[in-house]
Amino acid sequence: MAPSLHPLIDNGITPGSSSFSGGKLHCHCASDQVEITLNSNIAHNHACGCSKCWKPSGSLFSIVGVVPRDAVSVTANASKLSIVDKEATIQRNACKDCGVHLFGRIEKDHAFKGLDFVHVELSDEKGWQEPQFAGFVSSIIEQGSHPKEMDEVRAKFKAVGLQTYDVLSPVLMDLISTFTAQKSGIRFANL
Ligand SMILES: N[C@@H](CCC(=O)N[C@@H](CS)C(=O)NCC(=O)O)C(=O)O
Ligand SMILES: [Zn+2]
Ligand SMILES: [Zn+2]
């Protein structure tokens, strides 16, 4: 059987709702779940093939989007959270018991500082922005996917209408490079 990219991708994508304004995320524990409340829909939702983003078991990709950090609060069982890798750019807060990542936060100077990374499949609510593209696709090879399977993986994304990139989408890459340019002193008129 062909490997699953992700349950939210495999059978086609369900569009979100532009009027949706947030909801709750829960970890996978049977009891005392960590609960996160998001007071906003997400943006830039995408499939990520990197080794660091949380993915459900059996899936090759994570689905991850961003939300302003001010819109994120831990509303139950905060004591179960622990940062996976304190040195990483994105400090991924995971449940110590079930391993699910509840939110990833950037504290250092970075183009995406101020945005938290979340997996809205952890929510029962419907209306979250649907995945917009697939990033870090080639990274799945680093986790054991055969290089010869990559055409099939990219074709599957294409079949559900998603572009694939081996880092991020042009919009996000431009944001990162704009940030880097500004840091080096370049000033752009009319941004
Ligand atoms: N090929 C690497 C890529 C890792 C990577 O750069 N991940 C991206 C996408 S999530 C990133 O922004 N990482 C920052 C971080 O993990 O803190 C891997 O699979 O581990
Ligand atoms: Zn848990
Ligand atoms: Zn990732």
- Predicted confidence pLDDT, tens digits, the chain (191 residues): 678 999 999 999 999 999 999 999 999 999 999 999 999 999 999 999 999 999 999 999 999 999 999 999 999 999 999 999 999 999 999 999 999 999 999 999 999 999 999 999 999 999 999 999 999 999 999 999 999 999 999 999 999 999 999 999 999 999 999 999 999 999 999 99
The tokens of 119 are what?
A: 């997996």
Neighbours of ion ligand 2 (CB under 5 A): 27, 29, 95, 97-98
Closest CA to 28 of 93, 77, 97: 97
Residue nearest to atom 19 of ligand 1 (CA): 50
- CA 51–ligand 3 middle distance (angstroms): 6
Closest CA to 144 of 157, 153, 156, 131: 153
Closest CA to 69 of 106, 18, 24, 17: 106
> Relative to the alpha carbon of 30, which ligand is closest?
2
Task: Report ipTM for this prediction.
Answer: 0.98
Instruction: Check if 15 is active-site.
Output: no
Instruction: Look at residue 190 and give its three-state secondary structure.
Output: coil
DSSP label of 131: P
Instruction: Check if 48 is active-site.
Output: yes
> Relative to the alpha carbon of 62, which ligand is closest?
3
pTM listed for this prediction:
0.97
- CA 95–ligand 2 middle distance (angstroms): 5
Contact 27, 102 (CB under 8 A): yes
